[in-house]
Structure 1
Amino acid sequence: MSLNKILSIAGKPGLYKLLTQTRSGFVAESLLDGKKLNVSFKSNVSVLSEIAIYTLEEEVPLKDVFEKIKEKENGGRTAVSHKDDKIKLEEYLFEVLPNYDEDRVYPSDIKKIIQWYNLLHEHGITEYANEEEEEVNSEEKE
């Protein structure tokens, strides 16, 4: 599953998997507890594939940050917890993304990145390419 189907919903903890669209919004399933939730179009929803992290030069897509974390951790969970203190979280992100913009990436953002990465890892979602990228890659191999 790509990050195109994984959502963050404002005011709701964790991440959600997009299941289906309805007339008034969509149905999503929580990755934390598996409960289904009706979400209206009025809700503030972010698709993980659309999120980027500020660096000093450009914005780096979240999937690229997740790939760097996966590389650093050899495919495992992060060495730090999202509950660790601010300094430890900043040091960790600096190891993963040395040129991240410390003025525009807040500790709360770093907590989310680590929490989301670990949550995706727990659910076996470790391939972060978009579906379009996956199709192009498979066509190139043929």
Structure 2
Amino acid sequence: MNFSKIIAVTGKPGLFEILSQTKSGVIVQSLIDQKRMPINATHNVSLLENIAIYTFSEEVPLAQVFKNIADKEDGKEAISHKESADKLTSYFAEVLPDFDDERVYTSNIKKVIQWYNILAKANFDFSTLVQEETTSEE
């Protein structure tokens, strides 16, 4: 599973892996239930590799945040995204100490943790995230 092919689709729960392209969109597979479906141009799609989290000094790529969580949790699932706002915020502060708490809302933290847990359940290899970043910078 390649991180650059993982997307979130507005209005659809979970994460999806892009399998192939068609004339009008892409064919994706859900990481939750493995069901395949077409996504066309009317859907609002976000590539996870294009998402970043605000910190006080820079924007940190979501891949780095996932890597930090994986290092903390040893590649296993993190806390539930349904925990209290205080618990989620303090957990996120451990993973990304200088995140901008005025621009990163609790709903953002919930989504990041939920996505991480979906990837962890799908046996995603988080150690590949750093390698992909270094090769794309060259």
- Structure 2 letter corresponding to 1:101: D
Is 1:124 aligned with 2:123? yes
- Contact 2:88–2:109 under 8 Å retained in 1: yes
- Contact 2:64–2:130 under 8 Å retained in 1: no
CA distance in 2 between counterparts of 1:132 and 1:21 reads: 22
SS of the residue corresponding to residue 8 of structure 1 reads: strand
SS of the residue corresponding to residue 60 of structure 2 reads: strand
- Contact 1:18–1:29 under 8 Å retained in 2: yes
CA distance in 1 between counterparts of 2:107 and 2:43 reads: 21
SS of the residue corresponding to residue 68 of structure 1 reads: helix
Q: Which residue is equivalent to 2:13?
A: 13
List runs of 5+ in structure 2 lacking aligned partners.
Answer: none
- Contact 2:93–2:99 under 8 Å retained in 1: yes
Is 1:57 aligned with 2:94? no
Q: Which residue is equivalent to 1:73?
A: 73
The size of the alignment, in residue pairs, is 135
CA distance in 2 between counterparts of 1:29 and 1:68 reads: 26
TM-score by length of 2: 0.90
TM-score by length of 1: 0.88
- For 1:1-142, list aligned pairs within 5 A: 1-78=1-78, 80-127=79-126, 128-129=128-129, 133=133, 136=135
CA distance in 1 between counterparts of 2:40 and 2:86 reads: 37
Measured against aligned partners, the alpha-carbon deviations of 1:70-110 in whole angstroms (never above 9, x if no partner) come to 111122211x2001111110010011111001111111111
List runs of 5+ in structure 1 lacking aligned partners.
Answer: 138-142
- Contact 1:3–1:130 under 8 Å retained in 2: no
- Structure 1 letter corresponding to 2:3: L
CA distance in 2 between counterparts of 1:132 and 1:93 reads: 23
Measured against aligned partners, the alpha-carbon deviations of 1:12-50 in whole angstroms (never above 9, x if no partner) come to 100001011000001111111111111112211001111
Moved over 3 A (4+): 130-134
